[in-house]
Structure 1
Amino acid sequence: MTTSSDGSSASTGKRRLPFNFKESLPPNKRLKTANTKESSAGKHISCTHHEDTNRKRVVEQLASIGKTICRAVYFTCNLYDFVDCLIAELGETPVFDIDSDLLEAVKQISTFHPLVRDVIRQGRRECKMSIRNIGDALRKGHESAQSNDIKTIKENLPYIFSGIKFEPPIEPVHSVGKARMGFHHPQCAELLRPLNANWDDPKVRALSLTTVHAPTVQDFPHFIMANARDLNMGPEGQASILDRLFISPYLIRAARVILFGPSAVNETPIPPTSRCNASKNNIRGASPELIAYITIMLRFCLSDEESYSNDCYSYIKLYDVIRKQFQDVNFKTVKKYIINTWNSELFPRTATTGMGSSKNVISGPETRQGHLGHITAEKSAVLQIAKAQSQLSAQYDTTLTDAERDVATALLIV
């Protein structure tokens, strides 16, 4: 064996390892040779990054759930109570009392987001999120949905109310000014007027500008009704007014704009894009809460109020009154018809009515007659009672119970 001047072994053909062996290795090979303190620090950073990534993903999922709650489940619910109700199902002790409305809302959100409990469980156990943390994430999505929907409706009012000539024009909204809308604007006033108001009476119109009170069923805005000329009224005549509630083209168009985007104002895209709100929020069917939400959003956008609040008009009360109306046992058959109509227009692939999608809300006479056939003699009996009560109330100022007044007003509009 010979040794060269640089100390390498010439006979074996092998070169001696460099003196600074550790420094010559690539970083991934040197990791195991690092001191204990350095390794521990790297492990801590890795764990923290993993936890932050999980938490971010949970917060994003909660925001999406919050948007669905806003639009289609329970707009006016206390989101922290909602979380409390969910964690109670996971075996934790609830902080607040849980009411039946919250239980129903939790049941509903599960149909839109089947993994909602898994998200809450991960947030609580893996990410160590408090009820407030989870509620804040839901609220962020809730508020984002509401503000975006108001902006979208405002920008598309002329298309939602196509066929109505607004004088002065309302496009864009800033050209006329919010202060000149609402009951100060002739066409907006016609759309906002209460269902049972005698709008030909100047005193009634004047009161609408000065009187503020908590809305009742009697104050449902007129734009929720389909036009009588679009209906096949049938032999019942005035009784068929019941079939006009909550199926106006304005409500359906506003719902399309919010769920599928402005380009879908007249027809639901088949299939809807993956980026639309309906897809992102897993909204695949209509609900009374969706109808109530669209109603209050549309009412606000037509009003003269600069910003959304419950100071001048109680939108929370209107929302809850609409929900209560759909829960009324006497409204059960009509509720089914309304929901089927909305599904056929917004979600034609999953609708059970077979009406299909169309540019107008109102279907043809043959189809409509088929649906009206499901509204049985039960409705006729209720109508007769409601009509008698309404007439007595109008002529003799008879005091009705809340339930009687609600049914009478909803079923018999004059």
Structure 2
Amino acid sequence: MVLRDHIHRIRTDPLVSHGRHFGRTVRTFCRVHTLITNGLSRTMHLELERITKEDLSDVERADHHQYQQLLGLSPGLEERLNTGNEGDLRYVADMITKGMGSARSDDTKSLKAAVVDWITLSNEVLSPPLQRNVKSDRGYLHPRTGELLCPVNLDWNDEKIRRELKSGHLVPSGDMWPRFLFRNYEYNLADPWDGLLRSGLLVKAYKHVFTSPSSVYNGDGTSKSTKSSNARIHGMTSVTIPSIAYIATQASPVRFALSSGATFSRTDKATDSEYFYELLIEVLEDPEEYVEVSDLLKWWNQQIFPSYQIHHRAVHRDSVAAKIKDRRRLIAGGSWKAMEPSSSNSSQSDGRSPSPGALEQEAQS
């Protein structure tokens, strides 16, 4: 009975749910115990002014940001860590890690079947057919999945390349990015940013994981499911860079669902998942790529979150709303001067538009 209660407590601990979202949107390859231990120590030194954020290396700054994001995802976690002992810290880390692992496992299982439909061309069938719940015949063993997984710097139409990929003599590393990352699965050698991470396959997978499987086929991205989506449960209203990388990597597992591997791990040699994932994030978080990445994130948000465009639309400079904001800004700065009302029309002498009733009376007179 005691053991059963303990297992139930672990399964229902909110930390597991927080870990699932952390792995999907912040970091999927993360040693949580180390992240928390270093985060606590670093926070203490910062608060005591023994160090400043400027003293942190780029890696330390990135780790600290991930630690703060973890605290933000889990209300009350910071106090729990500050007042707990080493056993409490280890329990928290274990639950977060459990959540991350279960999310990867669940997404792998779910996408394994769904991806078969997405890679089948309209009004066509795959030849040979793929079984929805079997992956042993995928990867470079199948012409369709092989074509999509083939690195853009290799020619899938070259029989020798295909043969070496199928046999395993040629194993692409994580920095050899596959064709399915690009819009229409086409790579522009002259401009590597052209269509990068804008493929329909990625968008479908993202919706499947974050906004529900039913939203994949709805043009406006809305879900028909009565169950709250992962995005809604965690208050997610915009796409994150790591979440795009998560979807593109086996962890989510578009890349993994196309491959023939049966299980996912951070050390798998066949697809070099961790390197692939981290390199994607490194490129997308590079300040030098800010313009391209900002445009990419805007595009993604428009695909996934229908209300994003409404909330982020620019207000026209001549609109009433803009004029009201300008007026308030001028008043606050002490430079507001009321303009004389127009006297061109007696009904507008007070600076206001005539009411419908006044217009009706004028028309009758």
Q: Same fold (TM over 0.5)?
A: yes
Please show how residues 10-409 of structure 1 align to structure 2 within 5 Å.
56=9, 60-88=13-41, 91=44, 99-109=60-70, 113=73, 115=75, 118-122=76-80, 125=83, 129-163=87-121, 165-174=125-134, 178-209=135-166, 210-211=168-169, 213=171, 215-217=173-175, 219-227=176-184, 239=190, 242-267=193-218, 268-269=221-222, 275-296=228-249, 297-309=253-265, 310-351=268-309
Specify the SS of the correspondent of 2:236. Answer: coil
Kindly state the Cα deviation for residue 66 of structure 1 after the two structures are TM-superposed: 0.8
Structure 1 SS opposite 2:193: helix
What is aligned with 1:42? none
Quote the Cα distance in structure 2 between the aligned partners of 1:271 and 1:181: 31
Displacement of 1:251 = 0.2
Which one-letter code corresponds to 1:133 in the other structure?
Answer: Y
Residues 1:190 and 1:77: Cα distance change in structure 2 (over 3 Å): same
Post-superposition shift, 1:327?
A: 2.4
Number of corresponding residues:
287
Give the distance between the partners of 1:60 and 1:284, measured in 2 at CA. 24
Cα pair distance change 1:124/1:214, threshold 3 Å: farther
Relative distance call for 1:139 and 1:228 in structure 2 (3 A) is closer
Asked whether the equivalents of residues 150 and 301 of structure 1 are also in contact (C-alpha less than 8 Å), the reply is yes
**Amino acid in structure 1 at the alignment position of 2:300:** W
The answer to whether the 8 A contact 2:150-2:156 is kept is: yes
Give the Cα–Cα distance (whole angstroms) in 2 for the partners of residues 353 and 197 of structure 1: 42
Distance between the aligned counterparts of 1:270 and 1:185, measured in 2? Answer: 32
Q: Matches of 1:107 and 1:272 in 2, distance apart?
A: 32
Query: Does the CA contact (< 8 Å) of 1:86 and 1:120 recur in 2?
Result: no
The alpha carbon displacement at 1:191 in A equals 0.6
Aligned letter for 2:216?
A: V
C-alpha distance after superposition, 1:207-228 (max 9, x if no partner): 32323657243x1111110127
> How far has the Cα of 1:132 moved from its partner?
1.5
What amino acid is aligned across from residue 323 of structure 1 in structure 2? I
The alpha carbon displacement at 1:320 in A equals: 0.8
Which has more radius of gyration? 1
> Any idea what the Cα deviations from partners look like across 1:132-158, whole Å, max 9, x if unmatched?
111101011111111111111012113
- Quick one: distance in 2 between partners of 1:187 and 1:298? 14
Matched letter for residue 173 of structure 1 = N
Amino acid of the residue matched to residue 215 of structure 1?
S
Over aligned residues, Cα RMSD in angstroms?
A: 3.4
TM-superposed deviation, 1:326: 0.9
- Please say if residues 151 and 172 of structure 2, whose CA atoms lie closer than 8 Å, have aligned partners that are also in contact: no
| Partner Cα distance (1:192, 1:141) in 2 | 28
Task: Indicate how the Cα distance of structure 1 residues 352 and 78 shifts in structure 2: closer, same or farther if over 3 A, else same.
Answer: farther
1:338–1:108 Cα change, 3 Å: farther
One-letter code of the match for 1:299? R
Alpha-carbon separation, structure 1, partners of 2:173 and 2:45:
38
Alignment partner, residue 335 of structure 2:
none
Question: What residue is the counterpart of 1:384 in the other structure?
Answer: none
Alignment TM-score, normalising by the size of structure 1: 0.61
Q: Given the two structures, how large is their TM-score scaled by the length of structure 2? A: 0.69
Q: In structure 2, what residue type is equivalent to 1:339? A: L
Name structure 2 gaps, 5 residues minimum: 47-56, 314-365
Percent identity, aligned pairs only?
22
**Which residue identity lines up with residue 308 of structure 1 in the other structure?**
F
- Name the amino acid aligned to 1:250: L
Please give the per-residue CA displacement for 1:286-310, whole angstroms capped at 9, x wherever unaligned. 1221111111111111111111131
2:139 corresponds to which letter in structure 1? Answer: G
- Describe the shift of the 1:72–1:211 C-alpha distance in structure 2 as closer, same or farther (beyond 3 A): farther
Give distance in 2, aligned partners of 1:265 and 1:302. 18
